[in-house]
Structure 1
Amino acid sequence: MGLRVVPELYCIDINESKYFYVDVLGFSIKYERPEEQFLFLTLDGVDLMLEGLNTSERHWLTGNMEAPFGRGVNFQWDTINIEKLYQRVQSISPNSIYMELETKTYECNDQLAVQKQFIAQDPNGYLFRFCEDTLPS
């Protein structure tokens, strides 16, 4: 197994976040510690941790947490079937769509990369940009 980054995101309401990530986005729970308001999630082989703020457990915070969280960052998540994911999010939680599904071309050195992408905002304000590479036309 190679090295990886696993973001851990703080949540105002762990149950609301659990619903969003599992029921709306389709993440699977690898494991959870309900007494610590902690979830370890996975989607398409990429992992994410969620932790509630309302616990007596230690928190690694560098400042006050004010909603919306995640200002200045979005997490890109490569997906396998973006149309299916987009339809799922749109049908279950349409208000979480921050940016509609689009096809975008990016210049990468001397080549063009074409992606289908959309952005969803979780209940805490974090932005997730779901992407699927497509072939240039």
Structure 2
Amino acid sequence: MRFNKLIPELSVSSFKNSLHFYINILRFKIEYQREESKFAMISFQESQLMIEEINDHWSTGKLEHPFGRGINFQIEVDNIQSILDGLIKNNYPLFVEPKENWYRQDDVLLGNKEFLVQDPDGYLLRFAEDLGTKPR
């Protein structure tokens, strides 16, 4: 396994619940885990995350739901439909319904079909499927 240069590590309130969400609903893969530490390194296609139940190692202040306020994690995937299917099958609510968005980069527009979902602790995940580019 090759480690990405940036791998967010999310403090979670329940390792068991978070692992279920990421593995069974979103279909991330466990790269490795340390059950005794309630920690797992997980991946989906080219994206990597670490989850660990709240401990005193990384605490910078009180965590209150929703966690991660002010950040969303964009996760580029080949196709968002399989992820949506898992969420729908499990009656898991979306934060923002799927839609096409075009973002300007200089004189080009970059297209994404994307949606947002909050994980069990409220971390905001934005799954994006690349739609290519078009002139501005």
User: In structure 1, what is the equivalent of residue 71 of structure 2?
Assistant: 73
Deviations 1:67-100 (A, max 9, x none): 11000000000001112222222222432x1111
**Which consecutive residues of structure 1, in runs of 5 or more, have no partner in the other structure?**
none
Structure 2 CA distance for aligned equivalents of residues 78 and 84 of structure 1:
13
Which one-letter code corresponds to 1:16 in the other structure? N
User: In structure 2, what is the equivalent of residue 85 of structure 1?
Assistant: 83
TM-score (normalizing by structure 1): 0.90
1:46 CA displacement = 1.6
Q: Does the C-alpha gap of structure 1 residues 39 and 2 become closer, same or farther in structure 2, counting only changes over 3 Å?
A: closer
RMSD (Å), alpha carbons:
1.7
Matches within 5 A, 1:84-103: 84-95=82-93, 97-103=94-100
Matches within 5 A, 1:40-119: 40-53=41-54, 58-95=56-93, 97-119=94-116
Structure 1 CA distance for aligned equivalents of residues 58 and 123 of structure 2:
17
> What's the % identity of the aligned pairs?
35
Deviations 1:26-69 (A, max 9, x none): 0000111111110110100221000001x5xx421111111110
**Which consecutive residues of structure 2, in runs of 5 or more, have no partner in the other structure?**
none
Structure 2 CA distance for aligned equivalents of residues 76 and 90 of structure 1:
20
Moved over 2 A (4+): none
Query: Number of paired residues?
Result: 133
Structure 1 CA distance for aligned equivalents of residues 11 and 39 of structure 2:
9
Given that 1:74 and 1:128 are in contact with CA atoms closer than 8 Å, whether structure 2 keeps it comes out as: yes
Match of 1:123 among 99, 116, 120: 120
